[in-house]
Amino acid sequence: MNQTNTPGAHERYDALQMRVQRQFSNGFNFLWTYNYNSERSEQFFNVDQEFANVFRWESATRPRHRMTISGVYELPFGHGRRLVSHAPPVAEAFIGGWTTTAIYSYNSGNLLQFGQLDVVGDPHIDHPSKWGYVFNPAAFKQSAAFTPRVNPWFIPGLTGPGYKNLDVTLAKFFPITERFRLEFKIEAYNISNTFDGADPSLSVTSSTFGRVVSQQSGIIGRQFQYNLKLHF
C-alpha cells in the first residue's frame, strides 16, 4: 500500500548560492555559479510509523552541490582586434573574427535511498567507480520477512555518480553586404565524451546490487553540430 499527499507532512529547502562574474571586456567574460542545498521532507520511516501516523524528517535524493562555469572569448585575431588587425581579406576570412564559448556543468551524485535491508558491514569502498561498484554489496543482506524496517534511508557518504559536462562552440560572421552577413558555427556537446553513470541498483536481491549498469537518462556521447545562418 502506498500513501501519498498525506495531510500534515512538511517540506523544507535551504540553499547557499554564490555567483562570480566578470563583465564582458577586452573580448572576454566569465561567469561562475554555485548552489549548495539541503532539502528535506517529512516521511513515514517504516510501516509501523505509517500506521501510527508518525512522521520523521528525511533528506531528498537530489544532489547537494551544483556548479556552472561559462565564458565567452573573442579570439584576438583579425580586424578590430589586438593581433593581425590589418590582415589581407584572404587571411581575415580564415583567422579573423572567431568567437568561442564554453559551458561546464557539475552536479554531485544523488543520495542513495535504500529500501528495507540489514546492514551487516561497512558499505563504503575506497574507490567508488562511475561504471562499476559504488558501494560494497556484501555489507547488506535481505531482511527477514515480516520484520519492521530499522536501517536508515540514507547512509552518510554514499552517493551515486556525479554529473560532469563540457559544451563548446566556435563561431564566426562573414560579412556579405552592409545588410547581409553569414554566421558559421560549430557546436560540440560533451566534448570530453565523459561517461556519466546512472545510480547503481539498490535492490538487495538483484545480481547487479551496488553496480552502475547504465548511463544517466538524457546524457549523450560526444556530438558535433554545424550551423550556417544568414542574418539580414
Domain boundaries, the chain: 68-231
pLDDT value of position 95: 82
Q: Which triple of cell numbers denotes residue 178?
A: 552592409
pTM for the whole structure: 0.83
pLDDT value of position 217: 81
pLDDT value of position 169: 96
pLDDT value of position 2: 64
pLDDT value of position 6: 65
Contact between 33 and 67 under an 8 Å Cβ cutoff? The reply is yes
Separation CA 152–CA 201 (nearest Å): 17
Give me the residues of the chain with pLDDT under 70, please: 1-6
Contact between 135 and 202 under an 8 Å Cβ cutoff? The reply is no
pLDDT value of position 86: 79
Instruction: Classify the C-alpha dihedral 111-112-118-123 as positive or negative.
Output: negative
Give tens-digit pLDDT for 145-165.
888 899 999 999 999 999 999
Q: Which triple of cell numbers denotes residue 141?
A: 543482506
pLDDT value of position 64: 93
Instruction: Classify the C-alpha dihedral 111-116-122-126 as positive or negative.
Output: negative
